[in-house]
Structure 1
Amino acid sequence: MKETLTFTISRKADNLHREPVQVPCDTENLYIQVDLPDEFRYMSFIIVEDPDGRVRLQKQLAWGEQNLGIGAGPEDTTIGGVPGRIQAGTWQVGLGIFTEYLNQRLGEREGQITMTVSDEKGAVSDPMDTCWVDDGLAISPEKYRWDRICGTKKQWYKGDFHTHTRLSDGKESLERAMKKAQDMEMDFYVPTEHNLMHTGWCNTSLCILPGIEVTTDKGHMNLFGITKMPERIMDIVAHNGEEIVDTYMEETIQEARRNHWITSINHPFLTIWKWLYEQTDLRDIDCLEIINDPTYTDAPDSNEKAVRFLDALWQDGHRIYGVGGSDSHNLVEERYEGADLPSIPGDPATWVCCGDLSPENLMTAVKAGHMCVTRFCKMTPVIHAAGETFLPGDELPEEARTVTIQAVVEGLSEQPEISLVKNGSFEKLEVKELGNGAWEVLAETDLEERQWQWIRLEIRSSKKQLLGYMNPVFKGQKISRYRTFGEINKMMDEP
């Protein structure tokens, strides 16, 4: 069999367009060769469904070769695909449009993408080593072990909660992404592709936690620890830019709550990608990205506002934790305009303290807020109160009258400025040099008997560059005055 399909990309074209393909009996593999002019990369993704309506392949048409395959095993199947039997009957090959890139790059022009679908055996680009899913886009608990141990002691583990590969608009293969992660001495890695989910991975010693970046023209949200493709993703793609997407986003957030996935608002104040869902109920959000791709041109100011916003959330009694994400798309030799450093996984790093490192233990620790976010260094805090030891994110006992935080910061050649932040007020701490790029602080502060309080640490360079953020410990309870993202944002903008 061999069939050629032509899709048009333009502002007038449907956001999601499908074409039928007849697949005969005894077909062992499907191959889809995509003729993609360079100027139309990023703007679209392919989705292939079998005669039973199950998704068998989803992938953004961006970097790398686009010689796509679906076969019996993962080695014959492109990332984002579901290996298995190729049923005879009517398959659907669809082209989805990423309106964000379309609006940025295409203007009033239009173009065509051609796909040749055949059973002629050929080289498959970006295949997988292992597959996580069964039929459809649901992660199999037999194929993906949530209890797989990747680290065997309680310690601070280093990772990245916002990354991209060639499944969406990243430039690196899975193998190259893992090489960079290992070079950065990372322990875990969370792939978060635009409206797409990984169905497998390459062989690696790292703890890989499945994720997805729900991407709309009003903001991006990461979901960590997903067990299947969110139900409304294709509806979000098909209707992006329409008012109904607000409803689909709310349904997606509620689906995440039901399934115990972690919700995290990405780069909430970054130029055209800022979070515009003002009605978002803060009780449904677990994390906020406070450092996103710090080498990107517009990142510094937006990251600073994200830190201030998170402090405002804590001041209002919300328990939402800060995470970091490199949002890395580029090759290691590339630089953004004006940047001295590359955008690479692990910058920033999010450090998570947990027992044996496994996907399920990682999820538990993130939900508890046992996290620090750093650049170029490692921060190890030890927190004492009422004769006990605590971690960032912990609630201190009612009988606690003082809290002591001792922290060692490693990896900085220049003495940092370290502050204790208590209920939004900053106190600069004395920093002691330990040698070999290590520094230490010791802070003690009194606690009120019955009052909402939160305490964290912050590290900055002599030039005030943010280098570290310890998520707060807290004591007491507070009824929040503000319920939504928009209410806090408006309050911050008031004089």
Structure 2
Amino acid sequence: MTTLRGTLPPGSPDYVYVPVEVPPGTRELKVFYTYDKPAVPPGTPGNALDIGLFDQRGIDTGFRGWSGGARTEFFVRGDEATPGYLPGPLDPGTWHIVLGPYTVAPQGLSYEVTVTLVEGEPGETPRPVYPADRALGRGRAWYRGDCHLHSWHSDGRRTPAEIGALARAAGLDFINSSEHNTTSSHAHWADVAGDDLLVLLGEEVTTRNGHVLALGTEPGTFVDWRYRARDGRFGRFARRIREAGGLVVPAHPHATCVGCGWKFGFGEADAVEVWNGPYTPDDEVTLAAWDAQLVASVRERGKGRQWLPAMGNSDAHRDPDAVGMPQTVVLAEDLTRAAIQQGLRAGRSYVAESRHVTLSLSVAGGGREAGIGERLAVPEDTPVTVRLEASGVPRCSVRFVTDQGVLFTSEPLPVSGAGVVEWRTTPAYAAYVRAEVRHETALGPVPGAMAAFTNPVFLGAV
């Protein structure tokens, strides 16, 4: 047993590497750590210290696990490892414990890491089994999913099996594994998936300048997180996600927690998480920022600028977090990884607070019709009719939003929660139309909490 001690001052590097020599014949590596938490003035962050592990292959390629600040101890063996860590051989050489001083008090952060190496025969590393990349779908249909979830493999408190049961109860057809900075859960979803539930694999890449979902990557794909926006390295890791078959989705870009706000820009994004968990003011800010991006894409579409689809996810960690609140409902050719990703990338989707909410948005005119994520290519002066059919939204109001802002707000829908709302416009007046369904509010002009919103339908010739 070896105890390593040190003190990190304010302004320390984001990551500090503590070397550990692992001799031949080691069966198990155990780590326990503590750090001081002195009192700090109001408004000043206290100490918070993350932890992870890299093996003898080095700190660039030897990733073996990450628990952030969720655990004070972990172990790694050939046959098993603490959730968040990868089982496998304990080859001799210099390993590194990585410490991440998330926040440091003015007094500094004093830590103590105890490493125990157990001799013995190495256990046999299990061959990983991953979920299939398709489930029994309904052909071309609307499928419901939640692509931001945490189990006990990061800072969640639920097992994959418990998440699977909650996903089914929420009416979901697909989910995405998105643990903070680790892929350790990937081999634990095969028994959760089934004909009725597609499980995509990924990671929530958690940097000091924001979080991004690697959505639907190949099993075991590790994406590094050790960089900031000023380093100019994000494009490399975004390409890594796409090369592994995944989507790049910035998560909760206007969240207020330390390091959560998105600072990398959206040039590399395939979609953006506009609604994260229960609807809050930071979601409202994200919605407004996303809408401004839609306006910019309309203004610059002649230059080849693409618009950025929106999605929503629960980011559920533990009780009482509700899996599937909200959920993204996507039109896909079938219930497969490729088809779901294609639908999300194309923006053929809307976001709803629960399985009970169903929307259908269309725009018709000039003998043509277009739906969510599509373009109604008609002359600028063509009269068009915007039509929203909604159910599961009692006493909610419908708002039609364009590049000019909110141009129509309906009376509250009946208590049955079902209704049809129509509005007429032209492409000259509205470059796009998207729908919001809002709950009642007692705050006058302040909009109510979101019940659902759609991606846009674009109007006019390309």
TM bucket (normalised to shorter chain) is: 0.7 to 0.9
Answer yes or no: is 1:55 the counterpart of 2:34. no
Answer yes or no: is 1:365 the counterpart of 2:365. no
Answer yes or no: is 1:265 the counterpart of 2:244. no
Secondary structure of the structure 2 residue equivalent to 1:438: coil
Q: In structure 1, what is the equivalent of residue 301 of structure 2?
A: none
Secondary structure of the structure 1 residue equivalent to 2:155: coil
Higher helix proportion: 1
Deviations along 1:155-200, one digit per CA (max 9) or x if unpaired, are: 3222222222222222323233333333323222223233323442
Q: In structure 1, what is the equivalent of residue 303 of structure 2?
A: none
Deviations along 1:6-58, one digit per CA (max 9) or x if unpaired, are: 36463476613142333435x6x535253557969972222232458853621
Structure 2 unaligned blocks of 5 or more? 38-45, 298-305, 442-447
Contact 2:312 2:327 (8 Å CA) reproduced = yes
Alignment of 1:432-471 (within 5 A): 433=414, 437-448=416-427, 453-463=431-441, 464-471=448-455
Contact 2:67 2:84 (8 Å CA) reproduced = no
Contact 1:56 1:70 (8 Å CA) reproduced = no
Whole-Å Cα distance in 2 between the matches of residues 18 and 59 of structure 1? 14
AA of the residue aligned to 1:385: A
AA of the residue aligned to 1:325: N
Whole-Å Cα distance in 2 between the matches of residues 277 and 52 of structure 1? 28
CA displacement at 1:248 relative to structure 2 = 2.0
Matching residue within 332, 336, 343 for 1:354: 332
Whole-Å Cα distance in 2 between the matches of residues 129 and 38 of structure 1? 38
Percent same amino acid among aligned pairs?
19
Whole-Å Cα distance in 2 between the matches of residues 363 and 379 of structure 1? 20
Answer yes or no: is 1:288 the counterpart of 2:288. no
Whole-Å Cα distance in 1 between the matches of residues 166 and 35 of structure 2? 29
Whole-Å Cα distance in 2 between the matches of residues 81 and 230 of structure 1? 12
Contact 2:181 2:224 (8 Å CA) reproduced = no
AA of the residue aligned to 2:311: V
Q: In structure 1, what is the equivalent of residue 199 of structure 2?
A: 208
Whole-Å Cα distance in 1 between the matches of residues 239 and 309 of structure 2? 19
Q: In structure 1, what is the equivalent of residue 108 of structure 2?
A: 108
AA of the residue aligned to 2:54: V
Q: In structure 1, what is the equivalent of residue 75 of structure 2?
A: 68
Q: In structure 2, what is the equivalent of residue 490 of structure 1?
A: none
CA spacing shift, 1:117–1:328, aligned 2, 3 Å:
farther
Q: In structure 1, what is the equivalent of residue 359 of structure 2?
A: 380
Whole-Å Cα distance in 1 between the matches of residues 336 and 270 of structure 2? 20
Secondary structure of the structure 2 residue equivalent to 1:314: helix
Q: How many residues align?
A: 424
Whole-Å Cα distance in 2 between the matches of residues 183 and 120 of structure 1? 45
CA spacing shift, 1:35–1:255, aligned 2, 3 Å:
closer
Q: Which runs of 4+ in 1 moved over 6 A?
A: 37-42
Deviations along 1:290-318, one digit per CA (max 9) or x if unpaired, are: 22232xxxx72211111111111111225
CA displacement at 1:81 relative to structure 2 = 4.2
Whole-Å Cα distance in 2 between the matches of residues 472 and 63 of structure 1? 39
AA of the residue aligned to 1:286: D
Answer yes or no: is 1:224 the counterpart of 2:215. yes
RMSD, aligned CA? 3.6
Contact 2:154 2:180 (8 Å CA) reproduced = yes
CA displacement at 1:129 relative to structure 2 = 9.5
AA of the residue aligned to 1:220: H
Whole-Å Cα distance in 1 between the matches of residues 107 and 149 of structure 2? 28
Q: In structure 1, what is the equivalent of residue 389 of structure 2?
A: 407
CA displacement at 1:88 relative to structure 2 = 4.4
Answer yes or no: is 1:319 the counterpart of 2:307. yes
Q: In structure 2, what is the equivalent of residue 90 of structure 1?
A: 93
CA displacement at 1:120 relative to structure 2 = 6.0
Structure 1 unaligned blocks of 5 or more? 133-142, 333-341, 479-495
Answer yes or no: is 1:422 the counterpart of 2:402. yes
Matching residue within 365, 370, 373 for 1:393: 373
AA of the residue aligned to 2:233: Y
CA displacement at 1:258 relative to structure 2 = 5.2
Contact 1:429 1:443 (8 Å CA) reproduced = no
CA displacement at 1:61 relative to structure 2 = 5.0
Contact 2:254 2:262 (8 Å CA) reproduced = no
Q: In structure 1, what is the equivalent of residue 20 of structure 2?
A: 20
AA of the residue aligned to 2:76: G
Whole-Å Cα distance in 2 between the matches of residues 378 and 129 of structure 1? 42
Whole-Å Cα distance in 1 between the matches of residues 362 and 411 of structure 2? 17
CA spacing shift, 1:111–1:38, aligned 2, 3 Å:
closer
CA spacing shift, 1:262–1:38, aligned 2, 3 Å:
farther
TM-score by length of 1: 0.73
Matching residue within 159, 179, 184 for 2:165: 179
Contact 2:144 2:174 (8 Å CA) reproduced = yes
Whole-Å Cα distance in 2 between the matches of residues 173 and 300 of structure 1? 27
CA displacement at 1:418 relative to structure 2 = 1.1
TM-score by length of 2: 0.78
Q: In structure 2, what is the equivalent of residue 137 of structure 1?
A: none
Contact 1:41 1:63 (8 Å CA) reproduced = no
AA of the residue aligned to 2:269: I
AA of the residue aligned to 2:391: V
For structure 1, which segment, 203-212 or 190-199, has the greater mean C-alpha deviation from structure 2 after superposition? 190-199
CA spacing shift, 1:95–1:303, aligned 2, 3 Å:
same
CA displacement at 1:276 relative to structure 2 = 5.5
Secondary structure of the structure 2 residue equivalent to 1:162: strand
CA spacing shift, 1:184–1:212, aligned 2, 3 Å:
same
Contact 2:252 2:276 (8 Å CA) reproduced = yes
CA displacement at 1:444 relative to structure 2 = 4.2
Secondary structure of the structure 2 residue equivalent to 1:43: strand
Whole-Å Cα distance in 1 between the matches of residues 7 and 187 of structure 2? 29
For structure 1, which segment, 269-278 or 366-375, has the greater mean C-alpha deviation from structure 2 after superposition? 269-278
Whole-Å Cα distance in 2 between the matches of residues 211 and 70 of structure 1? 24
CA spacing shift, 1:328–1:42, aligned 2, 3 Å:
farther
Secondary structure of the structure 2 residue equivalent to 1:110: strand
